[in-house]
Amino acid sequence: MVRFRPKYGSALKWLLPGMHVKRWLLLLLGGITVLSLGVGYILVEIYRTWIFPPIFYYLTLQFIPRPGRALLFGVLGLTAVVMAIVQLNRSLLSAFRSPGDSHLVDIIYRHRHRSRGPKVVAIGGGTGLSTLLRGMKEYTENITAIVTVADDGGSSGRLRRELGVLPPGDFRNCIAALADAESLTTQLFQYRFSEGRGLNGHSFGNLFIAAMAGVTGNFERAILESGRVLAIRGQIFPSTLENVTLCADLGEEEAEGVMRVEGESQIPKAGKPIERVYLVPGGAPAYPGAVKAILDADLIVAGPGSLYTSVLPNLLVPGIVEALRASRALKVYVCNVATQKGETDHFTAGDHIKALEQHVGRVFDHVLLNDNLEVPFPSHLTIEIVSPQIHPAQELRVVAADVVDGENPWRHDSRKLARVLLGLYYKERNESRWSGSKREGG
């Protein structure tokens, strides 16, 4: 796993592999050496042909042996060069340093390692997706978030109906999670107007994206430009640009049959067991950028997030699930820590996997489960922790780890989640290389 290594001193970090600094330091040293030789030839010629006053005997330190003078001037010159480079870089890059960055080398070190991190595709929506992105961005900048466009509730639903834009809410959460200045950006984007005619209930981030769509001419361009403005680490794509509606068939009493509900926000409100969910219109074309990202990925993660209303709406886009099947990436489904009222009441991990496979078949290689079952849940919440029990027939490779957020035990901890997923990725990659080298060795 790519981790920042605090054991190295700040000076020694410049010499670590991948910093892309050593070659330029050697070139600088070589250039100064050649320049010094040129100046030295001129000084020798002057020394031999000119006659100097006696005071120059002392000014040029001729009373010190020549090896001693060479060492003294060498040390002074090298010290001056190093101090000049450090101070120049510090002055030029001070505008890009965060308050917590005590050393310039720390900034460069983290940037180099993140830029060489694995290509990660995260699929989902809601707070679960933003939780995953918040942890992943500390290890890699090669992140693609694929977001559902089925949201129709709250501020997003109003903007969707009134302006005809795709629902911006989940995109807003992803932009805030991937932004460099995450804390301030999150506060700004999540700020919700509590008064004002027409503004009441809207979040600033949703209005920002809707305004950007008006300025740029379309929604996909608005997301791209919003990411550039806020310097996010990664990219965010919709699963489809089609104006789709999420529908569900809900189980009723046998005498009453099945009830159909339209709208993502209405499904959990019905309080009935969900038989299946589907998109209307069906066959919505996948967003090309999302398909390409899946095919190029090293690691693909679905979840955490609402199973029926955040994760599955992306997988119900035919092009997305076809790309998943074709991709050679490591594919992991992250099961939720807690059940969700109106969607997955009393579900075990096996029930989550069963629902997933009933809708899209076997897509994922691994499932990540939480194994910390001793966390206290607030009594006012009508949810329960998800049991890691799976059905014997579900032949998935199970990874169990403590991924619970200590402050909000019904959610994942972003850093724990990212560490476990990337640890799994590097373990699988190393095992694959080892087995491949054994086959080649015969």
Confidence of residue 103 (pLDDT cuts 50, 70, 90): low
Q: In what order do the strands lie in the sheet with 330-334?
A: 235-238, 143-147, 120-124, 299-302, 330-334, 366-370, 397-401
Same domain, yes or no: 290 and 192 = no
Same domain, yes or no: 181 and 317 = no
Question: What tens digit of pLDDT does each residue of 359-378 get?
Answer: 999 999 999 999 999 888 87
Are 357 and 429 in contact, with CB atoms under 8 Å apart? no
2 belongs to a structural domain: no
* Beta-sheet pairing, 299-302 with 330-334: parallel
Question: Would the pLDDT of 49 be above 80?
Answer: yes
Same domain, yes or no: 134 and 192 = no
pLDDT at 112: 61
Question: Would the pLDDT of 108 be above 90?
Answer: no
Question: Would the pLDDT of 11 be above 60?
Answer: no
Are 150 and 246 in contact, with CB atoms under 8 Å apart? yes
Burial class (CB in 10 A: 0-12, 13-18, 19+), 42: exposed
Are 405 and 411 in contact, with CB atoms under 8 Å apart? yes
Can you give the CATH number for the domain in which 139 is found? 3.40.50.10680
4 belongs to a structural domain: no
Sequence-ordered list of residues with C-beta below 8 angstroms from that of 253, at least 6 positions apart, any chain? none
Same domain, yes or no: 386 and 409 = yes
387 belongs to a structural domain: yes
Question: Would the pLDDT of 140 be above 50?
Answer: yes
Same domain, yes or no: 71 and 166 = no
pLDDT at 41: 85
Same domain, yes or no: 274 and 412 = yes
Q: Which of 9-13, 56-60, 155-159, 273-277 has the highest mean pLDDT?
A: 273-277
Q: Which of 77-81, 222-226, 394-398 has the highest mean pLDDT?
A: 222-226
Distance CA 9, CA 63 (A): 39
Question: Would the pLDDT of 1 be above 60?
Answer: no
pTM of the model: 0.78
Same domain, yes or no: 289 and 380 = yes
- The amino acid sitting at 431 is E
Question: Would the pLDDT of 25 be above 80?
Answer: no
Question: What tens digit of pLDDT does each residue of 163-193 get?
Answer: 989 999 999 999 999 987 667 777 888 888 8
Same domain, yes or no: 268 and 406 = yes
Distance CA 268, CA 344 (A): 9
Q: Comparing C-alpha atoms, which of 329, 328, 333 is closest to residue 357? A: 333
3 belongs to a structural domain: no
Same domain, yes or no: 358 and 407 = yes
Q: Comparing C-alpha atoms, which of 342, 365, 367 is closest to residue 352? A: 367
Question: Would the pLDDT of 222 be above 80?
Answer: yes
More confident residue, 271 or 290: 290
Confidence of residue 64 (pLDDT cuts 50, 70, 90): confident
For the chain, the first-to-last Cα distance in angstroms comes to: 29
Same domain, yes or no: 225 and 329 = no
Token pair in block for residue 303:
């979840």
More confident residue, 289 or 231: 289
Helices 219-229 & 169-178 angle (0-180, nearest 10):
20
Q: To which residue do tokens 């990660």 refer?
A: 120
Mean predicted lDDT score pLDDT of the chain: 85
Are 189 and 171 in contact, with CB atoms under 8 Å apart? no
DSSP per-residue codes, 252-314: --TTT-EEEEESTTTHHHH-S-EEEEEEESSSPPBPHHHHHHHHH-SEEEE-SS-IIIIIHHH
In degrees rounded to 5, what are phi and psi of residue 160? -65, -45
Same domain, yes or no: 326 and 396 = yes
97 belongs to a structural domain: no
Q: Comparing C-alpha atoms, which of 294, 323, 247 is closest to residue 146? A: 294
Structural domain of residue 86, as residue ranges?
10-92+102-113
Same domain, yes or no: 354 and 275 = yes
pLDDT at 6: 44
Q: Comparing C-alpha atoms, which of 202, 199, 226, 198 is closest to residue 214? A: 226
Question: What tens digit of pLDDT does each residue of 299-346 get?
Answer: 999 999 999 999 999 999 999 999 999 999 999 999 999 999 999 999
* Least-confidence region, from 34-38, 182-186, 215-219, 438-442: 438-442
Question: What tens digit of pLDDT does each residue of 229-268 get?
Answer: 888 889 999 999 999 999 999 986 554 677 899 999 999 9
Confidence of residue 77 (pLDDT cuts 50, 70, 90): confident
Token pair in block for residue 341:
């009222």
Count of the separate structural domains present in the chain: 3
